[in-house]
Copies of this chain bind each other. A is one copy, B any other.
């Protein structure tokens, strides 16, 4: 049914994004060359540039793609924990912990990309901001003080990445519980 000659356009797109996801996330954008994207995707450079006119475009497409897949994965992990009877806050940190289990885990791709600073485009920054806003929305729908919880979550991700262990997740869980437990009486302290 597909009139394609060698590789259908849809599969070329998929391959490019998956190669980008593997490499950009694992090693950081700056140390991945287009040649490596070519090798891993199996596409020719020509085809790669036909789909994404520049590395910056590929990065933007990757960020959009990763937003979709990460949010879907996170929601799925969240649902598993909730269905198992976990309280909302625990479900959030259980989901984080299981994400961290993945081999090659290296923190949040969006945070890491944002840290590049100078050679990002406004579009990159916008996608990153939207991703973090979407996660905060998600948590806010799940628990009281969800936006503050999102801050705690990002702290846990960053520290877990720097220290190379899961202890920050436990610390963050404590903070999350405190936050939700105190939800009704924020006026208590002067």
Contact = CB atoms under 8 A, between A and B. Distances in A.
A187 B31 CA distance: 47
A151 B172 contact: yes
A112 interface: yes
B117 A162 contact: no
A148 B132 contact: no
Nearest to A146: B171
A106 B115 CA distance: 9
B150 A159 contact: yes
A56 interface: no
Given A145-B174, A155-B154, A27 B181 contact: no
Interface residues of A, number: 51
B158 A156 contact: no
Nearest to A113: B115
Pick from A129, A147, A158, A189 the residue with the most CB of B within 10 Å.
A158
A121 to B, nearest CB: 13
Contact of A28 (B107, B116, B158, B171): B116
A188 B179 contact: no
Contacts of A46: none
Contacts of A161: 114
Contact of A182 (B117, B132, B182): B182
24 contacts: A26-B118, A27-B117, A27-B118, A28-B119, A30-B116, A31-B117, A31-B118, A106-B117, A114-B115, A114-B162, A128-B162, A132-B162, A148-B171, A150-B171, A152-B175, A154-B159, A174-B179, A175-B175, A177-B186, A178-B178, A178-B179, A178-B182, A181-B182, A181-B188
Given A151-B155, A175-B179, 5 more contacts: A106-B117, A115-B115, A150-B159, A151-B175, A152-B152
